[in-house]
Amino acid sequence: MPQLIDLLEQARHLYPTSIDLSLGRCHDLLSKLGNPHFRIPPVFHVAGTNGKGSTIAFAKQILEDNGYAVHTYTSPHLVRFNERIQLANWRLLFASDDAYDQLLADTLAEILQVNAGASVTHFEIITCLAFLLFSRYPADYVLLEVGLGGRYDATNVIENPIVTAITSISRDHVEYLGFELRDIALAKAGIIKQGVPIVIPHIKYEDALPSVVHDIITDRATIHNAPLVYASRENYLDLGLLGDHQHMNAAVALRMIYAANVPLTRPIEPSLQRTTWAGRLQKITCAGVSLWLDGAHNEAGAKVLAKALQDMAYVSTSFSEQVIISPLKKWTFFIHIKARKDVRAILMYFASIADAFYMIDIPIDGGEPLPMHDLIEISESLGIKTYALNSIDAMYAIMAITPEPFIATGSLFWVGELLKSTTTNSLV
């Protein structure tokens, strides 16, 4: 039987020599497969610079707690590839992760055979894999996360979602989307469809949607006669996800469900309290020591993480032990930052709460880190003690002799590596 890891590597070699921002390759492959994206359950389509995954996690928990079967498509994965494509009730349908992986492998092998060596990006072929599976297994809804941008993202082949949402817009992936917020907003607003409700944070939350971005989205919504639905931070006492920013993600999730006219029969608060999403202010234990993880990989993510870390001395939830971290203590940061990121902008938010920065010099799938000498030069210019680490074991050694608290951040791939190092599962 084909192995998923081998087939994914085979798919990587189909990558085009040059990328044209269009949906042509995805449409071509879907056509060869019989257009499965026309036969999937109603779609919630979610774009945004940050907050997409958390918003989908909240929406999934609410829908499932109300008895609905939900497929989800998110990226990237942290530990296992199958995190990206989650069929409704798959843990009831398959005896194990390995059995589910075999379904993914068999279906991917089928797609590769049909594709017959044609150029296609890795994300495009995975998106087609998700649509083919979603068309074959019944569900009530699909929660679909945009990979990058919106207009030319492979997920945007979906022409008739029941609702769309944009969680936030800030600078990231500027090499593809442009540096100006206007260009980024135009790309993400490309998911807006004729007559389909579009959910966004209220204009008063400029940290999520700056005014120039709001104006562009409003304009595109008007052109497409798409009802504009505003989300405002709700005052829920407890959320399963830590950080003040998660209240907006929860509000967007709920407004999506309301805008889609999905009947709810159970209270939402317990669902919001049960929501989990790996790698977002998640605490794990490494060698007997607590380590917090968060995939803050851009300036906006760093800003909300810094605030959350400052606030954590005062946070408690009903579904985890009270978080008690003295506000006088500073954090030890273990950071992996990929190339093409605005390092200074990210580190500036951490400087006031950092005791030391340990820069991780480890090749990680998903992008090489910036040159270490550049990282250290930028970091030290902010007045923070900075060191290079070249292994996870070296990080553990530092944790053994350094007072808590510890935070690992900078990229989701780095968070994934740490989660892998603390699990005994076989990984793909």
* Stated pTM of the model: 0.92
Query: Looking at residues 295-324, what average pLDDT do you find?
Result: 72
Other CB atoms within a 10 A radius of the CB of residue 403 amount to: 10
> Taking 70 as the threshold, does the pLDDT of residue 327 lie above it?
no
pLDDT digits (tens, 9 = 90+) for 124-154: 999 999 999 999 999 999 999 999 888 999 9
Task: Read off the pLDDT band of 212 (50, 70, 90).
Answer: confident
How many CB atoms within 10 Å of residue 388?
14
Could you tell me the two tokens for 146?
A: 């945009």
Residue 17 has pLDDT above 80, yes or no: no
| Total length of the chain | 428
Q: Name 327's Cβ contacts closer than 8 Å, sequence gap at least 6.
A: 310, 313
Would you say 129 and 104 are in contact if contact means Cβ atoms under 8 Å apart?
Answer: yes
> Which of 274, 308, 342 is the C-terminal boundary of a domain?
274
Same domain, yes or no: 132 and 21 = yes
Cα–Cα distance, 221 to 227 (Å, whole number): 7
**Per-residue model confidence (pLDDT) at position 281:** 93
Which two structure tokens, joined as six digits, stand for 50? 């940050």
Question: Is residue 170 very low, low, confident or very high in pLDDT (cuts 50, 70, 90)?
Answer: confident
Q: Between the CA of residue 142 and those of 53, 155, 219, 373, 398, what are the distances in Å?
A: 13, 12, 27, 45, 43
Mean pLDDT of the chain: 89
DSSP state of 287: T
| Contact criterion met (CB below 8 Å) for 166 and 156 | no
At which of 206, 240, 274 does a domain end? 274
Are 71 and 59 spatial neighbours (Cβ–Cβ below 8 Å)?
A: no
Same domain, 103 and 158: yes
Q: Is 377 helix (H, G, I), strand (E, B) or coil?
A: helix
pLDDT at 182 over 90: no
Q: Do the domain assignments include residue 378?
A: yes
Range of the domain at 373: 280-421
Angle between helices 372-381 and 343-351 (to 10 degrees): 40
Give ∠ CA 235-240-242 in degrees, rounded to 5: 75
User: HSE (CB half, 13 Å, CA atoms) of 223?
Assistant: 12
Determine the pLDDT at residue 372. Answer: 86
Give the span between the Cα atoms of 84 and 108, in whole angstroms. 14
Kindly state whether residue 426 falls inside one of the protein's structural domains.
Answer: no
Residue 299: pLDDT over 80: yes
pLDDT (0 to 100) of residue 425: 38
pLDDT at 34: 98
- Number of structural domains in the chain: 2
Instruction: Give a yes or no: residue 316 inside a domain.
Output: yes
406-409 and 289-294 beta bridge pairing: parallel
> pLDDT confidence of 366, banded at 50, 70, 90?
low
Evaluate whether residue 428 is within a structural domain.
Answer: no
pLDDT(388) > 50: yes
Q: What is the mean pLDDT of residues 246-260?
A: 96
What span, in angstroms and rounded, lies between the C-alpha atoms of 86 and 51? 19
Give dist(CA 314, CA 343) in Å, integer.
Answer: 29
pLDDT at 320 exceeding the cut of 50: no
156 shares its domain with 305:
no
- What CATH number is given to the structural domain containing 9? 3.40.1190.10
317 pLDDT band, cuts 50/70/90, is very low
Asked if residue 104 lies in contact with residue 113, where contact means CB atoms within 8 angstroms, the answer is: no
Higher pLDDT, 368 or 77: 77
Q: Residue 340 — left, alpha, or beta (φ > 0 → left; ψ -120 to 50 → alpha)?
A: left
pLDDT at res. 56: 98
- pLDDT of 364 over the 80 cut: no
243 with 285, same domain: the answer is: no
